[in-house]
Amino acid sequence: MTLKLVGRVSALALAAALATSLGACATTGEITPMTPLVPAAPAPAPATDYVNDAHSYARPAEARVTHVDLDLAADFAAKTLAGKATLDVTGRPGATEVVLDAKMLDIKGVTDAQGRALQWSLGASDPIKGQPLTVRIPAFQGGETQKIVIDYSTRPDASALQWLSPQQTAGGQKPYLFSQGQAILTRTWIPTQDSPGVRQSYTARITAPADLTVVMSAEQLTPKGEAAGAGTKAWRFKLDNPIPPYLIAIGVGDLAFAPFDERTGVWAEPSQLQASAHELQPTAEMVDAAEALYGPYRWGRYDLLVLPPSFPFGGMENPMLTFATPTIIAGDRSLVSLVAHELAHSWSGNLVTNATWDDFWLNEGFTSYFENRIMEAVYGRDAAVQEQVLAWGGLQDELKALAPADTRLHLELTGRDPDDGMNTIAYDKGAAFLRTIEQIAGREAFDAWLRGYFERNAWRPMTSERFLEDIRAHLIKGDAGLEQRLQLNAWVYEPGLPSNVQAPVSHAFEPVDAAARAFYVAKGPASAVPWKDWNTQQRLRFLSWRPEGLAAGADWLTPAQLADLESTLKLDREGNAELVFAWLQAALANRYEPAVATADRFLTSQGRRKFVLPLFQTLWAEGDWGRPIATRIYAKARPLYHPVTSNSVDQVVGRP
């Protein structure tokens, strides 16, 4: 997932997912999104080395879900998905019940495969975890699989689902539905064992209005849908590879497809398809680069779905179908490292998955490192290092803002929402850790270890302890000196940054910093800033620049400077969302009144939490000036946001 910014955030951190403005030629040709990639390998068996998950009621060592089959109908008027989930369950000999996770679900009944009623109960509700759904089943004899069929409906306010009116879409004519399961939201639309350590394959039949298209994080078996009566079509899907439940995903809307090559392409609303296809054209080259680095891509197709603006994240690594924010469509392909990030998750996260959310860094730290290596392979070393430097700046701010315990890689999140651990630490401290290992052990040895790590641990839940066992066995190999230089335990279990960390340095930022000092400190004219000569990273470095030692909340730019900057660089007309965000962070923190209109447009036109939450935090921190502005804008914007975003902003400004 491309997230990084939760809680108090600096504008420096926003740029860790950016790339240089490099172009490529678009391709044309006829291809369907169902074209197979490579001959499918036999589906792997899910691992059974479970770890206790404080955020799930499941007891997989007793009885566990191995497969989910969905037969659901999308009702846009009622804003519900309703139907049946058939679960394949295995268990230890003598086990007589299976415990599932459920939240905000209306359970109508549970039967076995023959339709015989099974006893079931919902336990007490927890505001974070929801409820345990316990189903009584015949005692397992050993080795067999039982099926349970759950008849249920979601609720209109299910946290994983966002139902959009036609007015909230790009086309403005048809409604839209999409899901977001990470971290523990899948239980609000599917009753299953919603833990990242309990992998499940899945199949689905989804019925929707006939004029809409259904896509999922799975192979699409019905390219044009099947007539289902009463103005509806049914769409069927399957994913043989077992995945953590948070990766089961759905999108329903007015969608069209454009290919990049025989195994990659993009879905988007028709009005957005041409721009999306142009912007994301480098995807195919990135897949090739990723495979050259760390082994074959194991998921069949790699497609993207460009979602409506309310999607709360930059991207979500749903297998076979990355969900992406439309805010990456900058027109110059300058933000495509988001694609590299989500693609890298096909190895780190989807193939080898954190067993619990305490070890989220094993998903995101590895992925952020891998992302940067893909960008280096495709765009060159200089571009990759610029991204490292920008991410490093954001990491420094996050280290200052968080409680020391929350700056460790391995966290203790029992009793807390797992979203509390989804911050820059997991991403950028994790990536810095792997870069440190690479620098000390050497790239050749490190790459051989990491490629083997993905192979050895494929389809397996991973913990910090298991990671340390693996790297000691397969990279350190008893070398006491190397072990000492790496400081592994300090990186994983201690707060802050160990002494062996090396800050990245980009010479491309030296002229940017000089221009920043000339404008911000010496108060020179904005016309002297060589804006047109810079790439996106350099522009972000300039807009995010702050004097050393600046006190939190201190005004440091005059209205005249801000006006000069805005008019000269045309920041009020900027189309790159990352640059708009960086500009607004500086302008609002200095109470620049003319920027309020831009902030209003920006906050009511997209719902990406990375942008929305910090801007409301900045406004709220400005007291009697900013809080009325925040309250007014949020009253309009909140109905447009996904619950992931609105729940976070609610904690800052309160519900309007």
- The per-residue pLDDT for 141 is 95
Mean pLDDT of 437-453: 98
pLDDT of residue 24: 32
Is 221 a residue whose pLDDT tops 60? yes
pLDDT tens across 369-404, in order? 999 999 999 999 999 999 999 999 999 989 999 999
What's the half-sphere exposure (Cβ side, CA atoms, 13 Å) at 152? 26
Question: Is 636 within 8 Å of 168 (Cβ atoms)?
Answer: no
For 479-516, write each residue's pLDDT tens digit. 999 999 999 999 999 999 999 999 999 999 999 999 99
Question: Percent of the chain, pLDDT > 90?
Answer: 86
Residue 71 CB contacts under 8 Å (≥ 6 apart), including other chains: 83, 84, 85, 86, 204, 205
Q: Which residues contact 288 (CB under 8 A, 6 or more apart)?
A: none
pLDDT for residue 28: 30
Q: Over the stretch 639-652, which tens digit does the pLDDT of each residue have?
A: 999 888 999 999 99
What domains can you pick out in the chain, each with its CATH number?
A: 356-493 (1.10.390.10), 509-653 (1.25.40.320)
487: left (phi over 0), alpha (psi -120 to 50) or beta: left
pLDDT tens per residue across span 48-74:
678 899 999 999 999 999 999 999 999
Please say if the pLDDT value at position 6 is more than 70: no
pLDDT value at residue 10:
36
Using the predicted structure, report yes or no on whether residue 9 has a pLDDT greater than 90.
no
Instruction: Write down the pLDDT at residue 38.
Output: 42
Residue 26 in this model has a pLDDT that exceeds 60: no
Q: Rounded to 10 degrees, what is the CA torsion of 25, 28, 31, 34?
A: 30
Catalytic residue among 342, 364, 371, 622: 342
Encoded tokens for 134: 């316990």
Does residue 351 sit in helix, strand or coil? Answer: coil
Burial 528-538 (b: 16+ CB within 10 A, else e): ebebeebbbbb
Angle, helices 464-471 vs 361-379, to 10°: value is: 50
Q: What span, in angstroms and rounded, lies between the C-alpha atoms of 146 and 139? A: 10
Question: Average of pLDDT values for 26-30?
Answer: 32
Return the HEC string of 285-327. HHHHHHHHHHCCCCCCCEEEEECCCCCCCCEECCCCEEEECHH
Question: Under 8 Å CB-to-CB from 651, ≥6 apart: which residues?
Answer: none
- For residue 42, what pLDDT band results from cuts at 50, 70 and 90? low
In the chain, count of helices (H) and strands (E)?
A: 19, 22
The active-site residue out of 427, 453, 520, 641 is 427
Note if 427 is an active site residue.
yes
Of the chain, the end-to-end C-alpha distance in Å amounts to 29
pLDDT value of residue 35: 42
Instruction: Single out the residue of 337, 67, 311 nearest to residue 176, CA to CA.
Output: 311
Task: Report pTM.
Answer: 0.91
Helix (H) / strand (E) element for 620: namely helix 609-621
Tokens of 483: 């072990």
**pLDDT for the residue numbered 30:** 34
pLDDT at res. 50: 81
Task: List all residues 6 or more positions away from 155 whose beta carbon is below 8 Å from its beta carbon.
Answer: 80, 104, 105, 106, 188
| Token digits of residue 622 | 């400005």
Is residue 379 annotated as a catalytic residue, yes or no?
Answer: no
CA–CA gap between residue 503 and residue 506 (Å, rounded):
10
Q: What is the mean pLDDT of residues 73-77?
A: 98
Question: pLDDT tens, 399-424?
Answer: 999 999 999 999 999 999 999 888 99
Q: What mean pLDDT do residues 532-548 have?
A: 93
Q: Report d(CA 332, CA 605) in Å as an integer.
A: 20
Instruction: Give residue 284's pLDDT band: very low, low, confident or very high (50, 70, 90).
Output: very high
d(CA 455, CA 469): 15
State how far the alpha carbon of 59 is from the alpha carbons of 132, 192, 245, 274, in Å. Answer: 10, 12, 15, 47
152-181 mean pLDDT: 95
**Mean pLDDT, the chain, whole residue set:** 92
> pLDDT tens digit string along 238-261?
999 999 999 999 999 999 999 999
Residue 1 pLDDT: 79
Element (H, E) at 488: helix 488-493
- Mean pLDDT of all residues in 584-594: 96
